[in-house]
């Protein structure tokens, strides 16, 4: 379905980003990966799906590096048809104890990077009259949780940016939507599981149950593969008039 399209997925060397990149690759899209840590393993996983893959290690807190990444993607594949703004970091603390540098970093990577990548991708998408911008927000773009002020503020901002991007392009073939996952067992969330296990003096499995039990009625983690299939839907003809949605995959979290 996505043959001859190019998808750039930020923060895609692991977790949700890699799951989305693989789902798009299975539909034939060429992939530009981005992220820290090992890039060769993810590149090999994508290449094994029979598509072209490139990698750019832009630090998503730095606008100049984001610009370089977008230029690189266009040079590799012509243009970015599908932009998935997924890069994100987390820090947990009460507001009065929240380190200012952590606040700045979370807003920069989780929110501002999506603005920069979007503004750079839009001209080519509009010229082609086809594009898909998918912002990976969070259930925390819809509701709050204590001790996550920067993350919740950033993800609410991502949902707002999604709506404005959709409205500004509503009469074109360019759509913008947000995916709002609940708990996904990524390396980021595993750290919270480990911390809970240590704090409660329980096993990792019991800590997972405790984490899910606080928020997610299904008692199941959403998977990167499930999120990837939702991204594929947004890119499909069936998703052509889905515009400005903040689509939660959260096991019933916000239904409560």
pLDDT tens profile 2-50: 999 999 999 999 999 999 999 999 999 999 999 999 999 999 999 999 9
Residue 191's pLDDT is 87
Residue 39's pLDDT is 95
Q: Spot the catalytic one: 55, 77, 103, 151.
A: 151
**Active site includes 151?**
yes
pLDDT tens profile 87-124: 999 999 999 999 999 999 999 999 999 999 999 999 99
* Confidence band, pLDDT 50/70/90 cuts, at residue 187: confident
User: What CA–CA distance (Å, rounded) separates 198 from 209?
Assistant: 14
Distance of CA 90 to the CA centre of its chain: 13
* Confidence band, pLDDT 50/70/90 cuts, at residue 186: confident
Residue 188 confidence (pLDDT) above 90: no
Q: Is residue 58 within 8 Å of 116, Cβ to Cβ? A: no
């Amino acid at each position: 379905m996505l043959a001859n399209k190019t998808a750039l997925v930020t923060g895609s060397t692991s977790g949700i980003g890699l799951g989305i990149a693989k789902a798009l690759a299975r539909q034939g899209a060429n992939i530009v990966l981005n992220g820290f840590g090992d890039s060769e393993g993810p590149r090999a996983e994508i290449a094994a799906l029979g598509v072209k893959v490139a990698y750019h290690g832009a630090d998503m807190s730095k606008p100049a590096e984001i610009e370089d990444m977008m230029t690189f993607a266009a040079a590799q594949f012509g243009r970015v048809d599908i932009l998935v703004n997924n890069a994100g970091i987390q820090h947990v603390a009460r507001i009065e104890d929240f380190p200012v540098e952590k606040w700045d970093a979370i807003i920069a990577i989780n929110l501002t990077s999506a603005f920069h990548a979007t503004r750079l991708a839009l001209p080519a998408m509009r010229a082609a009259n086809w594009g898909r911008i998918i912002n990976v927000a969070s259930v925390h773009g819809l509701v709050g949780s204590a001790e996550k002020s920067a993350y919740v503020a950033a993800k609410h901002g991502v949902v707002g940016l999604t709506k404005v991007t959709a409205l500004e392009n509503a009469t074109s073939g360019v759509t913008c939507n947000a995916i709002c996952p609940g708990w996904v067992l990524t390396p980021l969330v595993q750290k919270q599981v480990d911390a809970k296990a240590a704090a409660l003096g329980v096993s990792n499995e019991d800590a997972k149950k405790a984490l899910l039990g606080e928020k997610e009625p299904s008692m199941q983690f959403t998977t990167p593969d499930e999120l990837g299939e939702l991204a594929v839907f947004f890119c499909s003809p069936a998703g052509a008039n889905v515009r400005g949605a903040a689509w939660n995959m959260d096991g019933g979290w916000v239904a409560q």
